[in-house]
Amino acid sequence: MNASCSWPTRCGGTVRGLRGPSDVVIGPNGPQFLEFNVSGALCGAVEVHCRMDVWHKLYASAGRVPFTSPDPFAARTRMFEDLCAELGAEPRVALLGSARDQGGFTRYFDLQTDYFNRHGLTARFFEPEDLHEAWDCPPHLRYPLGLRDFTIPDWEALGLDTAPVQAAVDAGCLLVGTQTSTFLSSKLTMGLLSEGAVDERAERNLVDTYCRGRESCPTGGRTGTAARSTSSSTPWPTASPWCSRRASE
């Protein structure tokens, strides 16, 4: 955690600021993360997309950008394309959220639906009270897939009813969580990967490269039996009640 601190200046005053532990140490073999926080936030994909857009525009006159990264919207689009192909479903995606959770504005959701609609998907943003329109309609107008772009505590704090979400799931709409939230929703993820409980080579290589031997890894940098006893109480991955066709499945 960050802690406030102060130090004297040459003029006899003081400067106050924040002091916090370093998250990354640069060593002879490259960066090593002292703490690897798996994001539970929802807005990461939108923020990265917008910042990368600004980054590209700033360097457009130079012909190329100094650094770049994959667009998270493109990755999310491929995810839905793969799901549609796997399920034999039409590429129609319902983006479920609420402007009331975004200060009354829909721009956060509009950015995503606009991108999806320009890249081969048919996407529409739904407020919870309108979600029945995604499934209570002629078959060719239904949305078989959806992105659950909200958290239950946030909606409860706003007094938003989640019953329409359950109704959509019961009607056969497959709602998936955002990649930055539900798919990696526990810091024990890195512990499970580091102990070899899941055979995902790319993710395990990530842990080996950047987190090996660090005491702040979820399992304390241990492997084998000691690590397994620490993390076995949490299933892989952490389940969400609305990441399946029916809550009981």
Average pLDDT, the chain: 73
pTM (2 decimals)? 0.62
Domain-located, residue 230: no
Q: Quick check: 230 pLDDT over 80?
A: no
Instruction: Give residue 221's pLDDT.
Output: 38
pLDDT tens-digit readout, 135-150 = 999 999 999 999 998 8
Domain-located, residue 196: no
Domain-located, residue 198: no
Q: Band of the pLDDT at 211, cuts 50, 70, 90? A: low
Question: What is the span of the domain harbouring residue 136?
Answer: 44-177
Count other Cβ atoms within 10 Å, centred on residue 45.
Answer: 22
Instruction: Give residue 9's pLDDT.
Output: 44
Domain-located, residue 199: no
Q: Quick check: 132 pLDDT over 90?
A: yes
With contact defined as beta carbons under 8 Å apart, do 134 and 95 qualify? no
Tally of domains in the chain: 1
Which percentage of the chain shows pLDDT scores above 70? Answer: 61
Separation CA 95–CA 113 (nearest Å) = 7
Domain-located, residue 1: no
Instruction: Give residue 186's pLDDT.
Output: 59
Domain-located, residue 113: yes
Q: Band of the pLDDT at 180, cuts 50, 70, 90? A: low
Instruction: Give residue 152's pLDDT.
Output: 86
Separation CA 242–CA 245 (nearest Å) = 7
- SS3 label, residue 52: helix
Q: Quick check: 106 pLDDT over 90?
A: yes
Choice between 173 and 48, residue whose per-residue pLDDT is larger: 173
Q: The domain that contains 71 carries what CATH number?
A: 3.40.50
Q: Quick check: 182 pLDDT over 70?
A: no
Separation CA 33–CA 206 (nearest Å) = 11
Instruction: Give residue 147's pLDDT.
Output: 93
Instruction: Give residue 34's pLDDT.
Output: 66
Paired sense of beta strands 24-27 and 122-126, if any? unpaired
Q: The tokens of 211 are what?
A: 């987190």
Domain-located, residue 22: no
Domain-located, residue 13: no
